[in-house]
Amino acid sequence: MQELTHWIDGKHVKGTSGRFADVFNPATGEVQARVPLATKAELDAAVDSAAAAQVKWGATNPQRRARVMMKFVDLLNRDMNKLAEALSREHGKTIPDAKGDIQRGLEVIEFCIGAPHLLKGEFTDSAGPGIDMYSMRQPLGVVAGITPFNFPAMIPLWKMGPALACGNAMILKPSERDPSVPLMLAELLQEAGLPDGVLQVINGDKESVDAILDSEVIQAIGFVGSTPVAQYIYGRGCANGKRVQCFGGAKNHMIIMPDADMDQAADALVGAGYGAAGERCMAVSVAVPVGDQTADKLIEKLVPRIEKLKVGPYTAGNDVDYGPVVTAQAKERILSLVESGVQQGATLVVDGRNFNLQGYEEGFFVGPHLFDHVTTDMDIYRQEIFGPVLSTVRAKSYEEALGYAMDHEYGNGTAIFTRDGDTARDFANRVNVGMIGINVPIPVPLAYHTFGGWKKSAFGDLNQHGPDAFRFYTRTKTITSRWPSGIKEGGEFNFKAME
């Protein structure tokens, strides 16, 4: 069995804690590797090493740092297939999904090539008599990223790219469920020219997270995960004087108006609801058709599409629509929520509870589920399921449908499908959700815009990637400057002549 490592000072380092977590192959249910769980002492040693390496890296001019990002992009493209295979083997998502995971992270690295421009300050000439005023952006020092299992390439790249391009050193604590790809990314960054010690990858659990939160050296923390953990990290990190951004759970609604193209809406719901087995914070998990006639048409379109979905291991190639969920515990939780939906009175239109894949009986596969007549007091509506389960909540009017999205505690993403521009514009202006799709089911912004939700989906003032990332990972320093031009007398300035 493979024993994974940490990445410290530019090399693989075995853990010394004696504690390990199992890394599964979700398709077979077998343990394929063990990952060490770092102690506070191991984490602190890596932080001290990063702090020492950051001094020179932070003094490196932005153009040279950008060249490392340029080379890193080339290497990511070169090793795309290798990275995708490793990602799928530990996470379970299909190879096309894995490549999409890497690609969306790679696009943020491409954006970071613009660091010399993004780090420019401002200048005011003659702000006063003989006075100039200017600002500069400087790195924070050592920062940390705590990243989730569902995007083991994309989210680490979203964190490390801007942080490193700004001149910081980073401690990356990836998910212990699928840690291989972050370690591979560290190797590629070293090959791209990143100095040893500037990026440290420390595997661990809550002990490592708490050590990050309490470290006096780490200046900022970026986190993606569940809302309860996001609230914990945000509260403890801020209490310790750190800059913190935390992104939590989601319950993304898609409103379908009577004038929508039903085939387009149904295709969008299937892709957004069941892709990657629903393990996406931007997955659409609630369909809100307006009017019973719209709902009946939508269900009629959805059922055959869902029943045709192919579920299987990533090794089956393009013949598979989605793979297993990440762990047996995740599967158990999803099916438990499905049972609660049935018990609480929702109509289970497509039942995937008895799904079984021959030859992969021990794998963590979950069949697709479709509920109708879901109400807002049900667990399947209130909670983020993070699985291949789509709930249909029927609305009598547009205002009622809008209210469902606005009243839910999560506010990550939402979408509306309609042919009416006034309705779409009103929806975009009024809904209290961070990312909006208009006839687009998963409205993930491109790398040069920012990604972030509202309400209990996000904690902190600044979003991920785009210009916000460069603001988050730097401090602004403003300088007011005056150079006296007094008249020299006997080799000395006559300051009185300036009065």
Give 3-state DSSP helix, strand, coil % of the chain, rounded to 5.
Answer: 40, 25, 35
> What SS3 state is found at 421?
helix
What are the tokens at 234? 């945000």
d(CA 312, CA 322) in angstroms, rounded, equals 7
Q: Any idea what DSSP says for residue 152? A: T
- 166 in catalytic set: no
DSSP β-bridge partners for residue 170: 143, 199
Closest of 38, 147, 30 to residue 90, by C-alpha: 30
Residue with tokens 């894995």: 98
209 HSE (CA, 13 A, CB side):
19
Yes or no: say if 435 and 413 are a contact pair by the CB < 8 Å rule. yes
> What SS3 state is found at 260?
coil
Yes or no: say if 210 and 186 are a contact pair by the CB < 8 Å rule. no
What are the tokens at 256? 């379908």
d(CA 206, CA 208) in angstroms, rounded, equals 5
Long-range contacts of 104-107 (CB under 8 A, 24+ apart): 104/151, 104/154, 104/444, 104/447, 105/76, 105/151, 105/153, 105/154, 105/155, 105/156, 105/157, 105/158, 105/161, 106/73, 106/76, 106/77, 106/157, 107/446, 107/447
The residue annotated as part of the active site, out of 112, 166, 246, 281, is 281
Amino acid at 53: A
Other C-beta atoms lying within 10 Å of the C-beta of residue 39: 18
User: Quick one: 489 exposed, middle or buried, by C-beta within 10 A (0-12, 13-18, 19+)?
Assistant: exposed
∠ Cα 479 484 490 (to 5°): 150
Amino acid at 311: V
> What SS3 state is found at 342?
helix
Closest of 38, 85, 340 to residue 215, by C-alpha: 38
Active site residues: 281
